Amino acid sequence: MLEASLSGLAALFTGQAMIFMSLGVAFGLLIGFLPGLGGVVAMALLLPFTFGLEPAAALAMLLGAHVATIFGSSISGILFNVPGAAKSVSICFDGYPMTQKGEGARALGAAAMASFLGGIFGAIALTISLPFMRAIMMSLGPPEYFMMALWGLTIIAIFSDGSVLKGIIAAGLGLLIAFIGMDPVTGTPRYTFGSLFLLDGIDFSVAVIGLFAISQMIKLYVKGGSIVEREINMGHSTVWDGVKDVFKHWRLVLSSSVLGLFIGALPGVGASIGGVAAYGQAVQTSKNPEKFGTGAVEGVIAPEATNAANEGGGLIPTLGFGVPGGESMTILLSAFVTMGIQPGKELITNNLHLVFTMVWIIVIANLLTTGFGIFTAKKFAKLTTLPGTVLIPVILAVCFVGAYSVKGRIGDVVVAAVFGVIGYLLEKYDYSRADMVIGMVLGLMLERYMHISLTLHGKLFFVTRPVTLVMLIFVLITLAYPFIRKWRLSRNGGAV
């Protein structure tokens, strides 16, 4: 493992990898600042640039950008009360009151250090989990992987925003779309209408660009943009005051990181939930809960550490089982597909150095983001004054060129536009886009393992194998638990 770790680190210390990571971090900070865009959009926009790059450089750019958006969106939340992304909403509760009191620099320092430590914690937890993941994976067979994919779909539908039923319907649509193209088992062209273009299936990365980036631009056009007009009052505090605060509240950093890690490891649970839960935890465990909302530094530290640790947690099911830990992880899986990397057993056993490369990326990207973010925050924050009318045409152009450059086929541009409209409509009518794309990712995995399981273990493989049966029961409990809890809550009049 030590050898793989060193080899993973060495892969990053090439000119190409470091340049692309720095570019990713800078781009992530920029996208993070801008209200309405987030880590998923940043990764979707960068995806076309990863084609043809070395895996280490491509992953450095993608993950680096994603890590940077966390702190980037917190900066605009702290300074202007306009979070760059939904996951940073809870940072505004105390971050902005701190800015109002003239403690903006302290809040930024605390956020940066909490983000750094949370990120490192996530990376360490990912490393520690590797031997366990390896042991678990070696003991699992195709029927268990089939159940794992099924569990992934179930839990994603449960935790997605809005109705569970709509979540499962969106996942069903994604699954069916995944079957478009050549059937890998029989070689039959399915749902292609005789089109050669569709024979290759719908490209994940193109669909992701449409579903997340183009649809977001339609949404931004309809909603209108936000332009921050406020002058920043950085006041009398310093960044180092915030850094010291983080070390003073090390227990809070630790508990928030654990929470972030746990939430990240659950497939489909968004970081926004983690931030709010961490804030609630900080309020409950604080000696001065009445100070929350008036500019308590703990209110900045807790959500930031949770959001950062979430990344390492999200990578655990993504790398180990090929079940994405969230929206952004589906984009990472798309990148894996393009690079020919197979998550799961193959990645953990034969390409362990790549896993360690990702661990190191989280560490180094956090370091770069913290350093770069603290010293440039004030200057970059002015970008929040950029109107939506400038963003929309430029990002649309990048999306279309990006979709085209995936394989150099004009049909992909049409697919991106169609998925952009579909994504907008799904979002509008509360059918989760994330569920749909995760359905697309898991569709072929489900089908492949189902065929292998049937061939090896017969039609009743899900009841004849004890582990598979236990997993099936677990899937059913996962599906039923939130409703049972809800029913019990309503029966007891809200008391747990």
Partner 1 sequence: MSKKLENNVVALVLLVIFIGFLYLSFNYSAKARLVPVPIAIASIILIIIQLLIQNFAKNFDLSVDPSQLFKATQNEAAVTNQEARKNVQVKKQGGGKETTGIGLVLLFLAMILLIGMMPAIFLFVLGYFIILGQEKWLKALIYTAICEASIYFLFVTILNVHMYEGLILKMFLG
Q: Contacts with partner 1 in 415-434 (CB under 8 A)? A: 417, 420-421, 424-425, 429, 431
Site string for partner 1, 40-69 (x = CB under 8 A): --------xx-xx-----------------
Q: Is 447 in the site for partner 1 (CB under 8 A)?
A: yes
102, 238 Cβ separation under 8 angstroms: no
Restricted to residues 269-298, the positions that interact with partner 1 (CB under 8 A) are 269-270, 273, 276-277, 279-281, 283-284, 289, 292-293
Restricted to residues 314-373, the positions that interact with partner 1 (CB under 8 A) are none
Restricted to residues 112-171, the positions that interact with partner 1 (CB under 8 A) are 158-159, 162-166, 168-169
Tokens of 434: 């994330």
At 302, phi and psi to the nearest 5?
Answer: -60, -55
Restricted to residues 364-383, the positions that interact with partner 1 (CB under 8 A) are none
Give the residue, chosen from 183, 241, 244, 478, that forms a contact with partner 1 under the rule CB under 8 A: 183
Determine the Cα–Cα distance for residues 154 and 322; give it in Å rounded to an integer: 15
Smallest distance from partner 1 to CB 109, Å: 21
Give the residue, chosen from 93, 121, 145, 380, that forms a contact with partner 1 under the rule CB under 8 A: 93
Smallest distance from partner 1 to CB 347, Å: 24
Q: Is 450 in the site for partner 1 (CB under 8 A)?
A: yes
Which residue carries 């902005």 as its tokens?
A: 96
Q: Is 480 in the site for partner 1 (CB under 8 A)?
A: no
Of 198-206, 232-240, 400-408, 468-476, the segment contacting partner 1 by CB under 8 A is 400-408
Give the residue, chosen from 179, 238, 378, 469, that forms a contact with partner 1 under the rule CB under 8 A: 179
CA distances from 1 to 10, 134, 354, 355, 453 (A): 14, 12, 12, 11, 31
Smallest distance from partner 1 to CB 297, Å: 14
Neighbours of 480 (CB within 10 A): 12
Q: Is 175 in the site for partner 1 (CB under 8 A)?
A: yes
Instruction: Please list, residue by residue across 383-404, b when 16 or more beta carbons sit within 10 angstroms of its beta carbon and e when fewer do.
Output: bbebebeebbeebbebbbebbb
- Angle between helix axes 388-407 and 410-428 (nearest 10 degrees) is 130
Q: Is 395 helix (H, G, I), strand (E, B) or coil?
A: helix
Q: Is 405 in the site for partner 1 (CB under 8 A)?
A: yes
Task: With CA atoms as reference, report the closest residue to 261 among 316, 299, 219, 302.
Answer: 316
Give the residue, chosen from 244, 254, 404, 469, that forms a contact with partner 1 under the rule CB under 8 A: 404
Determine the Cα–Cα distance for residues 432 and 441; give it in Å rounded to an integer: 15
CA distances from 267 to 20, 58, 177, 316 (A): 28, 23, 21, 10
Q: Binding-site residue total for partner 1 (CB under 8 A)?
A: 99
Smallest distance from partner 1 to CB 217, Å: 8
Instruction: Please list, residue by residue across 228-263, b when 16 or more beta carbons sit within 10 angstroms of its beta carbon and e when fewer do.
Output: beeebebeebebebbbbbbeebeebbebbbbbbbbb
At 291, phi and psi to the nearest 5?
Answer: -80, -15
Restricted to residues 218-257, the positions that interact with partner 1 (CB under 8 A) are 218-219, 221-230
Nearer to partner 1, 191 or 197 (CB): 191
The length of the chain is 496
Nearer to partner 1, 8 or 299 (CB): 299
Smallest distance from partner 1 to CB 244, Å: 24
